[in-house]
Amino acid sequence: MTQRVPIVENILSANDRLADRNREVFDQAQVVAINIMASPGAGKTSLILRTLEALHGRLRMGVIEGDLATSIDTDKALAAGLPAVQINTGGECHLDAVMLSGALPSLPLEALDLVIVENVGNLVCPANFKIGTHANVLVASIPEGDDKPYKYPGMYRGVQALVINKIDLLPYVPFNMDYFRQGVEILNPGLVTFPLSAKTGEGMTAWADWLVERVKTEK
Ligand SMILES: Nc1nc2c(ncn2[C@@H]2O[C@H](COP(=O)(O)OP(=O)(O)OP(=O)(O)O)[C@@H](O)[C@H]2O)c(=O)[nH]1
Ligand SMILES: [Mg+2]
């Protein structure tokens, strides 16, 4: 006789329990944590580095960098003066709560207000794993194309804010903003969006203000 074993459900619920524990660790340290997700090259690291500048003197920020194999992004964060910890997923296409819990003791949480987690560049896997952060933010970027909400709905449904990066490229790349926004609105009505350029700095103030407000409300 065969028996059905709900392994996937068990793995996910074990992950969720650990995600709740991570959240408690952040809350005890009075730190707000943001999970940044995006496709490879959308500009997550560039946004984080610009955010550090934009928040100067307003919030104390740290970073957890998720990467398949390298420490390239962590090295950039450390060079910019950010407390940063590296998680190498060993080929996994997303971070999970176990990985995050292993990284937390390496950050000086008591000395921080905000921790930004850069998830692995991917528009599919990270959406399925809670890690214990207070908010999920998706970074879309202009060169990826305006059809991405329609093609990757899971990612667009599960976020509390959307950054539209690389707006400096709008004059050069075909991108119908109305079509893009309609797709977002169907999946996540009223989602707060921040069109910006991590390259030029345009639009960074509204994004930084949202982070400051988020930290005020959660603390
Ligand atoms: N034109 C333009 N280029 C940008 C902008 N933001 C990032 N870039 C460029 O896009 C490329 C990828 O940026 P990253 O910040 O490394 O992107 P990422 O999402 O962290 O990439 P992975 O960690 O590899 O997934 C780099 O060449 C950046 O210089 C922007 O606003 N405008
Ligand atoms: Mg990066």
127 in Cβ contact with 96 (< 8 Å): no
pLDDT at residue 218 in the model: 86
- Measured in Å, residue 167 CA sits from the centre of ligand 1 at 12
Cα–Cα distance measured from residue 179 to residue 10, given in angstroms and rounded to the nearest whole number = 39
pLDDT at residue 8 in the model: 64
- Measured in Å, residue 116 CA sits from the centre of ligand 1 at 16
pLDDT at residue 21 in the model: 97
**Quick one: which atom of ligand 1 is closest to the CA of 67?**
23
**How far is residue 69 from each of residues 31, 35, 90, 116, 168, measured CA to CA in Å?**
27, 19, 6, 19, 30
CB atoms within 10 A of CB 56: 10
Cβ–ligand 1 distance for 44 under 6 Å, the answer yes
153 in Cβ contact with 128 (< 8 Å): no
Cβ–ligand 1 distance for 40 under 6 Å, the answer yes
- Measured in Å, residue 46 CA sits from the centre of ligand 2 at 7
Cβ–ligand 1 distance for 25 under 6 Å, the answer no
- Measured in Å, residue 45 CA sits from the centre of ligand 2 at 4
Q: Which helix (H) or strand (E) holds 53?
A: helix 44-54
Cβ–ligand 1 distance for 199 under 6 Å, the answer yes
pLDDT per residue as tens digits for the range 24-60? 999 999 999 999 999 999 999 999 999 999 999 999 9
Cβ–ligand 1 distance for 119 under 6 Å, the answer no
pLDDT at residue 200 in the model: 98
Cα–Cα distance measured from residue 95 to residue 75, given in angstroms and rounded to the nearest whole number = 19
Cβ–ligand 1 distance for 45 under 6 Å, the answer yes
CA-nearest of 48, 55, 129 to 84 is: 48
Cβ–ligand 1 distance for 166 under 6 Å, the answer yes
Low-confidence ranges of the chain (pLDDT < 50): none
Residue of minimum CA distance from atom 9 in ligand 1:
43
Q: Which helix (H) or strand (E) holds 114?
A: strand 114-118
pLDDT per residue as tens digits for the range 60-73? 999 999 999 999 99
Q: Tell me, what DSSP letter sits at residue 46? A: H
- Measured in Å, residue 141 CA sits from the centre of ligand 1 at 9
